């Protein structure tokens, strides 16, 4: 399929190391993929679901010890430990290669090695990058076929270029004690052993699209960010695009596929999804920042996804989808998970493969991190610009977190550098869902803490440099917090589709249509400028308290920020120290 010498030489190395019985190149054809689906069903790796109700859909169960990303087993293997930074686990590259190759040696005896050429981003896009993954898992092949653009067309675009990322995945023995996901940013290499779970083995996803790409972006003057991308269309048909970063459990996928409130919809407003998880952004010919979604599918968490919380995500799963670790309803051979509806099946099999009666069992049927891998083109609100090789121009960048107090519903940073400061101090409070104490502030800068492939202090510096390059064409930066609580612990802001009201204000600010109140932390809306029309029992009196900024609370916040910044030592840019000092002075 290719004459690329670097590719062929690496495949020879892999063949010698892994010793597969046979090698199959994935050409991207539907015939080949269909044959693999059939083979996976015959071996029990996949279960074919009801063709009438869920056409082209399959169920997969992982090993019980292999159900999520393993951050304590995820390493950045830079030559110098300091370059990995204090927020990553580090291994010496030479030691790591030896250890990983020893674990993987001969692991594909009796198995097939699949070679997957894939493009992150539309094939041939100037913003796209290419990778090759070798794997012994049909599940990985079929998921990558949904999550990336795969096959011969990718190799044709690669030609004889050496700019591609190597990815070795071997299931080995699914041994949790020998499970490693290692990234070699200086070598464009990813190695994953002893896992079969998507987040650890679909190497195009977090491994390439964030950890390796963030390092590439720093060196090549672009950005790889853990961000959704959405378009907001007004009644005149004009579309403005925003990207947004939120830590987990902050409603990122819901915002990416949001349906505006009825009043807005009737007036002709629409929301278009470009991406739900990752944005690659480069400066375009006109000097503005342009973004693509490097992925071709959604790898979403199933529990909690339903007709009310995210109808567009649910609709995306209705065909051509692979479900992982959900409930199989034996009555009609469909799937179910907690939070889908209030009718759990009684004649079912749970995620572990055991008989399960949803009306009687105390145990959950679906794993809390169970997943769907769905083609993005299934999404009813997918943007017409989804495959645009040039990307979409970004007008605003939104950061957010889950804070019971302190942070207002929305505020705008004073300028780009202040916006980088806002992103760098992003935080959420732990909820009951997380292990440990509730209400502990966890900082997750730009929602990149687990995904930045190099020293985070250098990452902040890269953001500041991008701002210099963009100049007055830089997107405006905002921060949102949908999660303010009242004294009884109830959410004050209605959230979900009503978050569109905040997006509307953000676009109005970008276009200079509304004024704002200046506070110690940035610009906060005037209450009358947020459209509350159609909201029941929620008016300006309810809105006012969640727009207020308490200098006392922010003085305390500044102490927490200083403590967090100490981690980065002398690699923290001076500008962020200055921003913190300005905040301290502002809240005095």
Residue 172 among the catalytic residues:
no
CA 205/CA 67 separation, integer angstroms: 16
Are the beta carbons of 318 and 54 closer than 8 angstroms?
Answer: yes
Q: What angle do CA 77, 79, 80 make, to 5 degrees?
A: 105
Q: What letter would DSSP give residue 474?
A: S
For 542, list phi and psi in degrees, rounded to 5.
Answer: -75, -30
Coil, helix or strand for 17?
A: helix
Other beta carbons less than 10 A from residue 437's beta carbon: 8
> Within a 10 A sphere around the Cβ of 58, how many other Cβ atoms?
22
Written as six digits, the tokens of 16 are 């010698």
For 248-268, give one letter per residue: b (16+ CB within 10 A) or e.
Answer: eebbbbbbbbbbbbeebeeee
CA torsion, ordered 507, 508, 509, 512, to nearest 10 deg = 130
CA angle, residues 322, 376, 409, in degrees to nearest 5: 110
Q: Which of 77, 250, 381, 452 is catalytic?
A: 250
CA-CA distance, 232 to 503, in Å (whole number)?
8
End-to-end CA distance of the chain: 66
The structure tokens 């704002």 sit at 516
Q: Which one, of 141, 168, 155, 208, lies nearest residue 7 by Cα?
A: 155
Half-sphere exposure of 87 toward its Cβ, with a 13 Å CA cutoff?
26
- Report the b/e string of 18-49 with b at 16+ CB within 10 A: bbbeeebbbbbeeebbeebbeebeeeebbbeb
3-state class of 271 per DSSP? strand
Q: How far apart are CA 309 and CA 435, in angstroms?
A: 24
- Report CA-CA distances (Å) from 273 to 157, 240, 270: 27, 12, 10
- Residue 302's CB: how many other CB atoms inside 10 A? 28
Q: Edge-to-edge strands of the sheet including 348-349? A: 334-336, 327-329, 348-349, 355-356
The residues carrying an active-site annotation are 250
């Amino acid at each position: 399929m290719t004459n690329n010498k670097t590719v062929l030489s690496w495949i020879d190395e892999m063949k010698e190391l892994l010793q597969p019985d046979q090698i199959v190149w994935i050409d991207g054809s539907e015939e080949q993929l269909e044959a693999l689906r059939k083979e996976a069903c015959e071996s029990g790796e996949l279960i074919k679901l009801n063709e009438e109700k869920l056409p082209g859909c399959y169920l997969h169960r992982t090993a019980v010890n292999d159900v999520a990303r393993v951050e304590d087993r995820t390493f950045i293997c830079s030559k110098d430990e300091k370059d990995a930074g204090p927020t990553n686990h580090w291994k010496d590259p030479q030691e790591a290669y030896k250890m990983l190759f020893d674990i993987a040696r001969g692991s594909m005896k009796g198995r097939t090695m699949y070679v997957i050429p894939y493009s992150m981003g539309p094939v041939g896009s100037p913003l796209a990058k290419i990778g090759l993954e070798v794997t012994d898992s049909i599940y990985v092949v079929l998921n990558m076929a949904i999550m990336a653009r795969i096959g011969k067309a990718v190799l044709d675009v690669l030609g004889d270029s050496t700019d591609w990322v190597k990815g070795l995945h071997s299931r080995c023995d699914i041994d949790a004690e020998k499970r490693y996901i290692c990234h070699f940013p200086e070598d464009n290499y990813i190695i994953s052993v002893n896992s079969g779970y998507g987040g650890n083995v679909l190497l195009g996803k977090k491994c390439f699209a964030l950890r390796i790409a963030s390092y590439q972006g720093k060196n090549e003057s672009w950005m790889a960010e853990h961000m959704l991308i959405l378009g907001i269309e007004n009644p005149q048909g004009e579309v403005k695009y925003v990207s947004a970063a939120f830590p987990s459990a902050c409603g990122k996928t819901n915002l990416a596929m949001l349906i505006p409130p009825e009043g807005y919809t009737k007036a002709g407003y629409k929301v278009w999804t470009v991406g739900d998880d990752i944005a690659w952004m480069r400066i375009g010919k006109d000097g503005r920042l342009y973004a693509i979604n490097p992925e071709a599918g959604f790898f979403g968490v199933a529990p909690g996804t339903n007709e009310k919380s995210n109808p567009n995500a649910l609709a995306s799963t209705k065909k051509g989808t692979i479900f992982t670790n959900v409930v199989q309803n034996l009555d009609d051979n469909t799937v179910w998970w907690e939070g889908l509806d209030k009718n759990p099946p009684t004649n079912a099999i749970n995620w572990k493969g055991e008989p399960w009666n949803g009306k009687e069992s105390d145990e959950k049927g679906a794993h809390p991190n169970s997943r769907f891998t769905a083609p993005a083109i299934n999404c009813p609100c997918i943007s017409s610009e989804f495959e645009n090789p040039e990307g979409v121009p970004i007008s605003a960048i939104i950061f957010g977190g889950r804070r019971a107090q302190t942070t207002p519903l929305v505020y705008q940073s004073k300028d780009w550098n202040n916006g980088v400061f806002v992103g760098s101090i992003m935080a959420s409070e732990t909820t009951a869902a997380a292990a440990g104490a509730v209400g502990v502030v966890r900082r997750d800068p730009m929602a990149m803490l687990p995904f930045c492939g190099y020293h985070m202090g250098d990452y902040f510096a890269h953001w500041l440099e991008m701002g210099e390059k963009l100049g007055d064409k830089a997107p405006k930066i905002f921060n949102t917090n949908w999660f303010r609580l009242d004294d009884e612990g109830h959410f004050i802001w209605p959230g979900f589709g009503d978050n569109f009201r905040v997006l509307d204000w953000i676009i109005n600010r970008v276009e200079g249509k509304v004024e704002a109140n200046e506070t110690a932390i940035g610009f906060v809306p005037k209450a009358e400028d947020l459209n509350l029309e159609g909201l029941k029992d929620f008016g300006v009196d309810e809105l006012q308290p969640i727009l207020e900024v308490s200098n006392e609370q922010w003085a305390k916040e500044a102490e927490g920020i200083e403590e967090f910044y100490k981690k980065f030592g002398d690699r923290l840019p001076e500008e962020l120290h200055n921003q913190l000092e300005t905040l301290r002075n502002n809240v005095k």
